[in-house]
Amino acid sequence: MAIKCETFSFEVQAQDGTARAGRIETAHGSIETPIFMPVGTQGTVKSLTPEDLRDEIEAQIILGNTYHLYLRPGLDVIKKHGGLHQFMNWNHPILTDSGGYQVFSLKDLRKIKEEGVLFQDHIGGAKHLFTPEKVIEIQETLGSDIMMAFDECPELPCTEDYMQKSMARTTRWAKRCLEARTRPDCALFGIIQGGTSEKLRKLHADELCKLPFDGFAIGGLSVGEAKDKMYETVEFTTPMMPDDKPKYLMGVGKPDDLIECIARGVDMFDCVLPSRNARNGQCFTHSGVVNIRNAEYAEDMAPIDPDCDCYTCKNYTRSYIRHLYKAKEILSARLCTLHNLHYFLTLVGQAREAIIEGRFEQFRLDYYAAKED
């Protein structure tokens, strides 16, 4: 008999159209949804401390990568610390991916079998086998508050035949993941695949949502498909998912995407975009993107975003941050990451408020209007 998570719960607090505001409870505290999760691939959200994340950005949950942490520092080190929370000194919720996405991205270096995936890692080239059981064992060692089931994310375009076979295997793996659980304080989400086909999504959702997962994710999007296809897929997939469980859209996205997918019923998001782009000097603002490396900002005395109250915008000019970027100073990455993540977290927080107050559609219109000013 499979174990059940005793620390996890979810309630929808308000609904406005299809958009939802909710609350997730985990072993490390609660999360108000809709939420964006900063990505901390290697046990750190690049350039930031847990205090920056909590106090300056008001992050509620962060994401860790199973594949990367398994390879480096490795499970022995994590185990010795008592888990990922203690290792990185973050005492709030953590979601970990299953490593599936990374392993399948290795292409020539991996071989898919029913048992799992045999692959060579990108660091030393050593051989490893990831099975559903192994991936749960790793995530339980990390002490993840929300674990993800091991799935295949087929590269698009792919034949309907391959997608069907892959989905069937992902379902079998999902069941094995559920069976493999031993910790009652680690929740487990299933992942629905099916590309951009409504028929295939329905097929997979019908199978997967019967299983006793604590939440469900839409996988296999934001992998190169057209934006309208992505929105359309989210729109027809969320109604296939149980309303009393969180709905998580993996790997998405830009600010517009958050707004559009919140409108379509998504509760949770993660993406490297705000932090990665910050390191390249691309900052998100209420009036659109500011590429801080551009010459036009050399003597610009305004903050990155005049409508932002983050640490960076309260204290520094565009001119100074551009200087840091041009001089390749680490502080540039730090200040821009702080700003971008603050922007993303503020955006989902404002969307949540609007949903609770029944004015989400107006909020969405105002959001686009501000960008066009």
Q: Which residues contact 206 (CB under 8 A, 6 or more apart)?
A: 240
**313 annotated to bind ligand:** yes
Q: Which stretch binds a second copy (CB under 8 A): 158-166, 230-238, 313-321, 360-368?
A: 313-321
Residue 350 annotated in ligand binding: no
Least CB distance from residue 296 to a second copy, whole Å? 13
Nearest to 115 by CA among 137, 135, 143, 101: 135
Among the candidate windows 84-92, 156-164, 188-196, 235-243, which touches a second copy by CB under 8 A?
Answer: 84-92
Rounded to an integer, what distance in angstroms lies between the CA atom of residue 139 and that of residue 365? 40
43 binds a second copy, rule: CB under 8 A: yes
* In the complex, least distance from residue 55 CB atom to a second copy, rounded to whole angstroms: 12
* Token pair 């993800």: residue: 148
Could you tell me the smallest distance in angstroms from the CB atom of residue 38 to a second copy?
Answer: 13
Q: Which lies closer to a second copy via its Cβ, residue 44 or residue 291?
A: 44
Rounded CA separation 154/162 (Å)? 8
- What whole-number distance in Å separates Cα of residue 5 and Cα of residue 123? 34
Total residues interacting with a second copy, rule: CB under 8 A: 34
Catalytic, out of 52, 214, 267, 270: 270
Among 17-25, 29-37, 131-139, 329-337, the segment contacting a second copy (CB under 8 A): 329-337
Which one among 7, 120, 317, 350 touches a second copy, defined by CB under 8 A? 317
By the rule CB under 8 A, 310 interacts with a second copy: no
* C-alpha radius of gyration, the chain, whole number: 20
- Which phi-psi region, left, alpha or beta, contains residue 251 (left: φ > 0; alpha: ψ -120 to 50)? left
Nearer to a second copy, 43 or 255 (CB): 43
Q: Is 270 an active-site residue? A: yes
Are 6 and 344 in contact by the 8 Å Cβ rule? The answer is: no
* Stretch of residues binding a second copy (CB under 8 A), selected from 6-14, 46-54, 196-204, 343-351: 46-54
Residue 333 within binding range of a second copy, rule CB under 8 A: yes
- Note whether 345 and 57 are within 8 A (CB): yes
Nearer to a second copy, 36 or 297 (CB): 297
Which conformational region is residue 213 in: left (phi greater than 0), alpha (psi within -120 to 50 degrees), or beta? Answer: beta
Q: φ and ψ at 293, to 5 degrees? A: -75, -15
Contact 158, 195 (CB under 8 A): yes
- Tell me if 100 is assigned to a ligand binding site: yes
Return the residue of 320, 343, 344, 367 that touches a second copy, per CB under 8 A.
Answer: 320
Catalytic residue among 52, 97, 121, 145: 97
Q: How far is the CB of 125 from a second copy (least distance, A)?
A: 17
Candidate list 88, 142, 146, 351; residue touching a second copy; CB under 8 A: 88
Q: Which residue type is seen at 190?
A: G
CB 40 within 8 A of CB 64: yes
Q: Is 76 a catalytic residue?
A: no
The per-type count for the chain, helices as H runs and strands as E runs, is 15, 16
What CA–CA distances, in Å, run from 134 to 98, 137, 167, 200, 361?
A: 10, 5, 20, 28, 44
DSSP 240: G
Task: Work out which of 23, 128, 326, 359 binds a second copy, going by CB under 8 A.
Answer: 326
Catalytic positions: 97, 270
The binding site for Zn(2+) comprises 308, 310, 313, 339
Kindly list the residues in this chain that would bind a second copy in the complex (CB under 8 A): 42-44, 46-49, 72-73, 76-77, 80-81, 87-89, 298-299, 301, 315-317, 319-320, 322-324, 326-327, 329-331, 333-334
